[in-house]
Amino acid sequence: MSATATRATADTSPSQRARRTRRLTLGLIGCIVLLAVVCALSLCIGSKPIPLSEVWRAFTDDDSSLQEHIIVRQLRQPRTLIGLIAGACLGLSGAVMQGLTHNPLADPGILGIDAGAAFAVVIAIHAFDVNSASGFIWFAFVGAAFASVLVYGLGNMGRHAAAPVRLALAGMATAAVLGALTTSVLLSDQQTLDQYRFWVVGSLSGRDMQVVRDVAPFAIVAVALCLLSARSLNTLALGEDTARSLGASVLRARMLCSVAIVLSAGTATAACGPIGFVGLTVPHLVRRWTGPEHRWLLPYSTVVAPTLLLGADIIGRVIDRPSEVQVGIVTALLGAPFFVVVARRTRISSP
């Protein structure tokens, strides 16, 4: 958010602010309702359609002898919850990352964070025989943190430090290197490849409630830190000198945002593998409605991102019945054209 946009927001009259707050509040309630509808569809739609009334019975009067109840409770319930967790984490990590770096191209996938987490997970499988989400998550955090530091360091080299396109290029280069290292490990170990290939495609299927229980505590902390960073991001948007003159600790603000990004991106990647473009697309879509104010942008991203992710997962289930297309492939097909448009516009304004 630019200083001009911040001043414009501050200069609005009380009546305008009240109308804007009412509009944004109603919009957020509408997004929550839409998310609830998508969650219901996620429980109903699949290779075997199940009526909503039967889905309700599966939770209120569970009968383990009915196939429909088994499908809902053991397959679609954890799938939907993982979509909620991963979507919220991806949307928030993208929004916080874009605000922290002033980079409209920032995204856990584009900036190489997903590649860092994926490489760490491969090492966990290959060297330490880890095969559960509770084990993956620690390695995913380390890999995400390593990639974040490396990309930001590379992006700050040279005269035009941290320019948006420069950071994007540094992220792509880092992702390419880490991807090559990941491939070299996989080609040398068939067992690691067999286990990794089901994780790397980016999918909500094949997860159970144990995965939900493993990642939920980290997701709660990550979402809380991201939402708490709204004020810091608004202050940093004024510029570091102005932020310091207002009494803000720039270092503390950057550390809070960085920890939030690593936790949220690492949690999502550990839970369902690398899923691209959600963190890039959602903040841009939300910003058209909320404006640059992070106190609204972040809550909206928390709700809209899982709606998009679960919607993409539902599309993947129905376009190739009785098989399905994994959600990571669907989000890539939807998000890649959006990235091209944003990149072209950013290139014009970047130094």
Query: What tens digit of pLDDT does each residue of 309-349 get?
Result: 999 999 999 887 778 888 888 988 887 787 777 666 654 44
Band (3; pLDDT cuts 50, 70, 90): very low
Residues 279, 105: Cα–Cα separation, whole Å? 10
Q: Which two tokens stand for residue 280?
A: 């890039």
What are the tens digits of pLDDT across the range 159-181?
555 555 677 788 889 989 998 99
The full set of domain ranges for the chain reads 79-349
Calculate the CA 269 to chain-centre distance.
Answer: 9
Scan for tokens 């991001």, then name that residue: 233
Q: Phi then psi for 2, rounded to 5 degrees?
A: -80, 165
Name the packing angle between helices 14-44 and 294-318 (round to 10°).
20
89-93, 163-167, 256-260, 317-321: least confidently modelled range: 163-167
Beta strands in the chain (DSSP E): none
Q: At what angle do helices 113-128 and 133-155 cross, to 10 degrees?
A: 140
Are 312 and 330 in contact by the 8 Å Cβ rule? The answer is yes
The Cα-based distances of 32 to 23, 39, 61, 300, 301 in angstroms read: 14, 11, 26, 9, 11
Residues 233 and 312: their CA atoms lie apart, in Å, by 29
Q: Which CATH code for domain 79-349?
A: 1.10.3470.10
Cα–Cα distances (Å) from 88 to 70, 126, 276, 317, in that order, read 27, 30, 14, 21
Determine the Cα–Cα distance for residues 275 and 321; give it in Å rounded to an integer: 22
Angle between helices 327-349 and 164-187 (to 10 degrees): 150
Distance between CA 135 and CA 176 in Å, rounded?
Answer: 25
Residue 140 and residue 155: Cα distance in Å, rounded? 22
Q: What is the DSSP string of 9-35?
A: HHTS-HHHHHHHHHHHHHHHHHHHHHH
Determine how many CB atoms are found less than 10 A away from the CB of residue 48. Answer: 12
**Given CA atoms 6, 9, 14, 19 in this order, what sign does their dihedral have?**
negative
Q: pLDDT by residue (tens digit) across 27-40? A: 999 999 999 999 99
Contact (CB, 8 A) for 89 and 306? no
d(C-alpha 76, C-alpha 54), whole Å: 13
Name the phi and psi angles at 326, rounded to 5.
Answer: -65, 150
Q: Report residue 60 as tokens.
A: 């209120």
Token pair for 196: 């990794």
Q: Is the pLDDT of residue 5 over 50?
A: no
Q: What does the pLDDT read at residue 84? A: 96
pLDDT of residue 1: 45
- Rounded CA gap, 121 and 80, in Å? 23
Residue identified by tokens 């499908």 is: 71
The per-residue pLDDT for 348 is: 41
Count the Cβ atoms, other than its own, within 10 Å of residue 346: 16
The two three-digit tokens of residue 269, written as one number: 């990647």
Global pTM value: 0.85
